[in-house]
């Protein structure tokens, strides 16, 4: 995963003609980012090495404390908004009061990643101008770019008059429920802002940066298939049938072959089956038991569905 930070630093190597057109404060900002390159990468490493899977509440809080330590010296008033009522860690909301004469800016990022503590993908690794690790691009790299930009503004003298609010959510990858509470502070901040910037990466297609003009929804689904248990010698017979795992596989295969349409995706993220199969309370881990000579009585699959319209969601 290539973080936003390295892309930003590469972009700062401007041709002489382009650099000559920059204002004095803009030149100071570029110099500040270049001067603090290693400090910024060190911050990225620290953030990535702290696991902050959405359901690792202490880990998300730890990343929140790290970001507080970066924002307060820049003049931000930082508060932690706990989200125990939606079973998530909480959010950082930080405010910088300027002179009130400019645009009110909202900067958005998130503290959490999709990689929980039991994920095999852990830790920061650097290979030249590449960084690898959970959250390097989404979204710890984004938060690091945010901090680097704010430091550069401070060095250029442009931060002191700026009216900026920052919201770093702790559950972007797995939102708390009800969503009205989980996103309450972000929505309120959006209503106060004139301009909002989201510090996540753009897509790269054939070497070209691509932005989004719309965003698909994200929902989840679960299927439980059951079958008649018995000895494996009877599988496919009229008395035993196909068993739960074959039936679940048939349904999922039909998803793939019969339902595809433009802008619709449906991913299978977790599957388990056997004589017994269960999901944990968070529904992100599964446990199953079985033997090779027993027809499975239950199979469970969970996944997500992403659509661009409600009509597509209904048809999917």
Residue 315: per-residue pLDDT: 59
Domain boundary among 210, 241, 264: 210
Does 235 lie in the same domain as 132?
Answer: no
pLDDT in tens, 217-240: 888 999 999 999 999 999 999 989
Residue 123: per-residue pLDDT: 95
**Tokens standing for 143?**
């938060």
**Three-class SS of residue 247?**
helix
Domain boundary among 210, 236, 255: 210
What is the count of structural domains for the chain? 2
**Three-class SS of residue 209?**
strand
Residue 311: per-residue pLDDT: 75
Residue 129: per-residue pLDDT: 85
Q: Which residues pair with 155 in a beta bridge?
A: none
What is the spatial distance between Cα 298 and Cα 276, in angstroms, rounded to a whole number? 6
Does 253 lie in the same domain as 198?
Answer: no
Which letter, b or e, does each residue of 245-260 get, where b requires 16 or more Cβ atoms within 10 Å of its Cβ? bbbbbeebeebeeeee
Does 235 lie in the same domain as 193?
Answer: no
Residue 316: per-residue pLDDT: 54
Residue 12: per-residue pLDDT: 47
- Can you give the residue range of the structural domain that contains 87? 4-210
Residue 310 burial (CB count, 10 A): 9
Residue with tokens 């570029």, as numbered in its chain: 30
Does 110 lie in the same domain as 241?
Answer: no
- Contact between 239 and 253 under an 8 Å Cβ cutoff? The reply is no
Q: Identify the CA nearest to 165 among candidates 204, 141, 192, 131.
A: 192
CA 69 to chain centre: 22
Query: What is the CATH classification number for the domain harbouring 144?
Result: 3.40.630.10
Residues of the chain scoring pLDDT < 70: 1-19, 312-316
Query: What is the CATH classification number for the domain harbouring 224?
Result: 3.30.70.360
Does 172 lie in the same domain as 27?
Answer: yes
The mean pLDDT of the chain is 91
Does 56 lie in the same domain as 194?
Answer: yes
Residue 201: per-residue pLDDT: 76
pLDDT in tens, 291-301: 999 999 999 99
Q: Identify the CA nearest to 156 among candidates 34, 66, 8.
A: 34
Domain boundary among 210, 239, 271: 210
Going by the DSSP 8-state scheme, the letter that residue 205 receives in this structure is E
Does 176 lie in the same domain as 300?
Answer: no
What is the spatial distance between Cα 32 and Cα 34, in angstroms, rounded to a whole number? 5
Does 161 lie in the same domain as 72?
Answer: yes
Does 230 lie in the same domain as 270?
Answer: yes
Angle of helix 37-49 relative to helix 57-71, nearest 10 degrees?
160
Does 96 lie in the same domain as 41?
Answer: yes
Residue 4: per-residue pLDDT: 46
Does 117 lie in the same domain as 73?
Answer: yes
Does 115 lie in the same domain as 36?
Answer: yes
Residue 3: per-residue pLDDT: 43
C-alpha R_g of the chain: 24
């Amino acid at each position: 995963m290539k973080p936003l930070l390295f892309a930003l630093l590469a972009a700062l190597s401007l041709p002489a003609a382009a650099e000559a057109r920059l204002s004095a404060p803009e030149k100071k900002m570029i110099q500040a980012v270049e001067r603090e390159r290693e400090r910024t990468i060190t911050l990225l490493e620290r953030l990535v090495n702290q696991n902050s899977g959405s359901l690792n509440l202490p880990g998300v809080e730890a990343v929140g404390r790290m970001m507080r330590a970066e924002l307060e010296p820049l003049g931000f008033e930082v508060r932690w908004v706990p989200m125990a009522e939606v079973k998530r860690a909480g959010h950082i909301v930080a405010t910088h009061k300027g002179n009130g004469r400019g645009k009110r800016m909202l900067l958005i990022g998130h503290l959490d990643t999709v990689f929980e503590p039991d994920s095999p993908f852990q830790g920061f690794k650097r290979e030249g101008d590449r960084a690898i690790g959970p959250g390097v691009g989404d979204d710890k790299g984004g938060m690091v770019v945010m901090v680097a930009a704010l430091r550069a503004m401070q060095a250029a003298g442009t931060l002191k008059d700026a009216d900026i609010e920052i919201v770093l959510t702790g559950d972007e990858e797995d939102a708390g429920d009800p969503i009205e509470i989980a996103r309450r502070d972000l929505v309120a901040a959006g209503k106060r802002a004139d301009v909002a910037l989201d510090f996540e990466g753009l897509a790269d297609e054939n070497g070209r940066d691509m932005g989004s003009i719309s965003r698909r929804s994200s929902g989840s689904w679960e299927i439980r298939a059951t079958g008649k248990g018995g000895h494996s010698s009877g599988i496919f017979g009229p008395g035993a049938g196909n068993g739960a795992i074959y039936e679940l596989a048939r349904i999922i295969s039909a998803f793939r072959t019969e339902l595809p349409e433009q802008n619709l995706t449906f991913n299978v993220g977790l599957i388990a089956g056997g004589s017994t199969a269960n999901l944990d309370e968070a529904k992100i881990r599964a446990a199953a038991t079985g033997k090779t000579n027993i027809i499975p009585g239950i199979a469970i699959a969970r996944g997500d569905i992403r659509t661009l319209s409600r009509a597509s969601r209904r048809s999917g």
